[in-house]
Amino acid sequence: MSAQGSGIEVKLDDCQRQTIPADQDPSAYIVHEYDLRDVVNLLWMAGAEGVAINKERVVGVTSIYCVGSTVMVNETRLSPPYVVRAIGDPDRLEDFVQNPSYLAKVKEKARRRGLIFQFHRSSSIKLPAYKGSFALQYAQPGQ
C-alpha cells in the first residue's frame, strides 16, 4: 500500500568533480550501498513510519546491495542520485540526520570528497507501495 505524509528527503549523489587526483581511490567519491543502508537505518531509528529509496519501498525483507557500479534495492537496479524519503515526525527525523554523531562517514565523504549529501523537510512525501512479495511460512505441530 502506498503512503503519504510529512517527513524528510535525503539526497545522496556521487561527487561531481570532473577529475579525481591520481593518488586517490575513485570509489571514495561515489555513493555505496552501505551509505544508503546507514541513512535508511538512521531514519528507522529516528522513528520513520515508512521509507523508500527512489521509487523502491523499503520493508523488512528489502535488501540493499552493490552490483558493479549500481545499487540493487528490492531486485531493482538504481543509480544516483538516490533520494531517500521517510514519513514521520519531521523534527525528529531532521534532528537525527543533523546530529554530528550520526552518519559521520557520509558527512565526511561529503566534506572531503565532494559527495552530495542534502536533506530537507517536506509536508507531502509520497511513498510507493512495496512491489515484491512476502513468502509466508508458518509453524506446523510436531508429529
Q: What is the pTM of this model?
A: 0.89
Tally the domains of the chain.
1
The cell for 80 is 544516483
CB 130 within 8 A of CB 17: no
Domain span including residue 36: 3-17+27-127
Answer for the pair 86, 135: CB distance below 8 angstroms, yes or no.
no
- 100-128 pLDDT, tens digit each: 999 999 999 999 999 999 999 999 999 99
Largest alpha-carbon pair distance within the chain?
Answer: 67
What is the sign of the dihedral through the CA atoms of 78, 127, 31 and 119?
positive
Q: How far apart are CA 49 and CA 62, in angstroms?
A: 15
Given the DSSP bridges, would you call strands 82-87 and 116-127 parallel, antiparallel or unpaired?
Answer: unpaired
Q: What is the pLDDT of residues 24-59, one digit of tens each?
A: 888 889 999 999 999 999 999 999 999 999 999 999
Would residue 69 count as lying in a domain?
Answer: yes
